[in-house]
């Protein structure tokens, strides 16, 4: 990375016909020079930091105006990145924004920003810590209110503070150990039991954070729920009911759905991708066969599988065969549909989790509750912060290192041996917070960001 460069990108979402305004962000030593060269501000407007200027961006020919804009100058270090930042607020959509960005990029000393580069610069300059930068990205990506709340907790420093405290507790123990190594004779003997207890306590907290983070992933990434079953049991009707629109074609002909259909919904704050599948049966129809193959893939990749049966028909051999096909590790629900009709017979050990009528909209609430309970997403209310995958991996490594450190202690080895694993645990926690930072970590964090962040 070259710090004499100025970077630029569109910082807002780009979509044709959408967004009244769009923001082009420039950061770096030439940001102001470029802003002055490109934006013509009529009258006597003063180029002062943190003030809004009004003007025009001229086309390269210097004759006609590309757009009417507002410009916001934020001089270093009082900016998001800690460098000179210029934001050009132009009109939204696609074409104008691209034209203005092209004009920016024609200027000397500026290049397109890489994904996450603004945030990376902010971290490098100490304007933002690592977990807060990740939280910004998660906030932008949030697909449900609960996911946004968790991201906001990260942005408020919840993760940073929690991990920093744990790391400091370990540092305290390390200092005690090292003092014993260096000045054993001069100090009172070390209470191993207390030290070990402390390491175990930190380890236990880390494990809780890892487990909570995993559950929170469901809230962030959402659940994939596959609706499977024989033809004509009402899978598509159920999809339509939950989606509140006629997403899938429903007919009384078995084999209506032949392709995998997805519908995005939010239930109790949890984003859910519903997959409507082709009814699984033996058939000679080639298209239907392909559809059935997709149903089987959906069945294998879903977070929850809902097997729908026709309660009027009762439990059939075909239902039993499908039930057996659901991978054992995947949470499953048995839903008996068409409860408005007379009930067929069910074996006593196969009682449905939910009885409902997709046609009449009955039993929907029970289904939603059962889905959330089966996936574990309903339990997401108990925690306030949630580590992302990167942070969890490091927390888990730290917990393992602490466990080794305690094992070593049990083997009566000299103090030096304890410190090796303890140091490793401290290092992993430092990588979460950014206290210990290197190119690899930065690469891992920021490559997942989108451009303009």
Ligand X SMILES: Nc1nc2c(ncn2[C@@H]2O[C@H](COP(=O)(O)OP(=O)(O)OP(=O)(O)O)[C@@H](O)[C@H]2O)c(=O)[nH]1
Sole window of 38-46, 132-140, 250-258, 319-327 interacting with ligand X (rule: CB under 6 A)? 250-258
Shortest distance (Å) from residue 313 CB to ligand X: 11
151 CB contacts (<8 Å, ≥6 apart)? 135, 136, 138, 139, 142
Task: State how far the Cα of 273 lies from the Cα of 368, in Å rounded to an integer.
Answer: 13
Shortest distance (Å) from residue 280 CB to ligand X: 8
Shortest distance (Å) from residue 271 CB to ligand X: 23
Task: State how far the Cα of 80 lies from the Cα of 48, in Å rounded to an integer.
Answer: 17
Binding mask 185-214 for ligand X (x = CB under 6 A): ------------------------------
Residues at the contact surface with Mg ion, assessed by CB under 5 A: 235-236, 256-257
CB 60 within 8 A of CB 100: no
Q: Which of 55, 82, 234, 452: binder of ligand X (CB under 6 A)?
A: 234
Identity of the residue, 227 or 385, whose beta carbon is nearer to ligand X in the bound complex: 227
The helix/strand/coil state of 397 is helix
Q: Which of 232, 375, 391, 433: binder of ligand X (CB under 6 A)?
A: 232
Q: Which of residues 266-305 bind ligand X (CB under 6 A)?
A: 278-279
Residue 178 sits at φ, ψ, to 5 deg, of -65, -35
Closest CA relative to residue 409, chosen from 192, 190, 172: 192
CB 121 within 8 A of CB 97: no
Shortest distance (Å) from residue 277 CB to Mg ion: 8
Q: Which of 266, 287, 341, 420: binder of ligand X (CB under 6 A)?
A: 341
207 CB contacts (<8 Å, ≥6 apart)? 399
Task: State how far the Cα of 99 lies from the Cα of 105, in Å rounded to an integer.
Answer: 10
Rounded-to-10 torsion of CA 152, 157, 163, 166: -130
Peptide bond into 9 cis (omega under 30): no
Identity of the residue, 28 or 231, whose beta carbon is nearer to ligand X in the bound complex: 231
Shortest distance (Å) from residue 321 CB to ligand X: 15
Q: Which of 337, 375, 391, 433: binder of ligand X (CB under 6 A)?
A: 337
**What does 249-288 look like in DSSP terms, one character per residue?**
---SSTT---S-EEEEEEETTEEEEEEE-PPP-----HHH
Identity of the residue, 61 or 252, whose beta carbon is nearer to Mg ion in the bound complex: 252
Shortest distance (Å) from residue 243 CB to ligand X: 12
- The encoded tokens of residue 23 equal 């923001």
Identity of the residue, 119 or 237, whose beta carbon is nearer to ligand X in the bound complex: 237
- The encoded tokens of residue 64 equal 């006609």
Q: Is 254 in the site for ligand X (CB under 6 A)?
A: yes
Q: Which of 144, 237, 405, 433: binder of ligand X (CB under 6 A)?
A: 237
Identity of the residue, 236 or 433, whose beta carbon is nearer to Mg ion in the bound complex: 236
- CB under 5 to 8 A by kind: which of Mg ion, ligand X, none does 121 bind? none
Q: Which residues bind ligand X (CB under 6 A)?
A: 229, 231-237, 250-252, 254-257, 278-279, 337-338, 340-341, 357-359
């Amino acid at each position: 990375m070259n710090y004499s460069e100025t970077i630029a990108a569109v910082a807002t979402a780009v979509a044709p016909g959408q967004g009244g305004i769009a923001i082009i962000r420039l950061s770096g030593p030439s940001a102001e020079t470029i802003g002055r060269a490109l934006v013509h501000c009529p009258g006597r407007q003063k180029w002062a930091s943190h003030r809004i200027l009004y003007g025009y961006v001229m086309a390269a020919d210097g004759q006609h105006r590309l757009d009417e804009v507002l410009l916001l100058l934020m001089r270093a270090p009082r900016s998001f990145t800690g460098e000179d930042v210029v934001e050009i607020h132009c009109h939204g959509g696609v074409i104008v924004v691209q034209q203005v960005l092209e004009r920016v990029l024609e200027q000397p000393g500026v290049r397109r920003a890489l994904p996450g580069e603004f945030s990376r610069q902010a971290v490098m300059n100490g304007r933002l810590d690592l977990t807060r930068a990740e939280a910004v990205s998660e906030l932008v990506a949030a697909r449900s209110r609960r996911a946004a709340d968790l991201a906001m907790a990260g942005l408020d420093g919840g993760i940073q503070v929690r991990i920093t405290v744990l790391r400091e507790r370990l540092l305290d123990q390390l200092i005690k150990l090292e003092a014993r190594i260096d000045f054993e004779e001069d100090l009172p003997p070390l209470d191993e039991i207390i030290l070990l207890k402390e390491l175990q306590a930190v380890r236990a907290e880390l494990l809780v954070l890892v487990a909570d983070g995993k559950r929170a992933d469901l809230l962030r990434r959402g659940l994939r729920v596959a609706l499977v079953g024989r033809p004509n049991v009402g899978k598509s009707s159920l999809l339509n009911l939950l989606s509140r629109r006629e997403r899938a074609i429903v007919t009384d002909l078995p084999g209506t759905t032949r392709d995998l259909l997805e519908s995005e919904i939010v239930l109790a704050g949890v984003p859910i991708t519903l997959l409507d599948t082709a009814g699984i049966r033996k058939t000679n129809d080639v298209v239907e066969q392909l559809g059935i193959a997709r149903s089987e893939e959906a069945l294998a990749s879903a977070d929850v599988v809902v097997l729908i049966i026709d309660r009027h028909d009762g439990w059939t051999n075909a239902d039993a065969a499908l039930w057996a096909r659901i991978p054992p590790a995947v949470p499953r629900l048995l839903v008996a549909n068409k409860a408005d009709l007379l009930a067929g017979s069910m074996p006593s050990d196969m009682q449905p989790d939910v009885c409902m009528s997709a046609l009449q909209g009955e039993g929907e609430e029970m289904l939603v509750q059962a889905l959330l309970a089966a996936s574990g997403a309903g339990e997401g209310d108990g925690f306030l912060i949630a580590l992302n995958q990167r942070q969890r991996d490091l927390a888990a490594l730290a917990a393992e290192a602490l466990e080794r450190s305690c094992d070593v202690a049990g083997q009566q080895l000299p103090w030096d041996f304890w410190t090796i694993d303890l140091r490793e645990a401290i290092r992993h926690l430092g990588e979460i917070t950014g206290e210990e930072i290197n190119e690899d970590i930065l690469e891992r964090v920021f490559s997942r960001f989108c451009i303009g962040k």
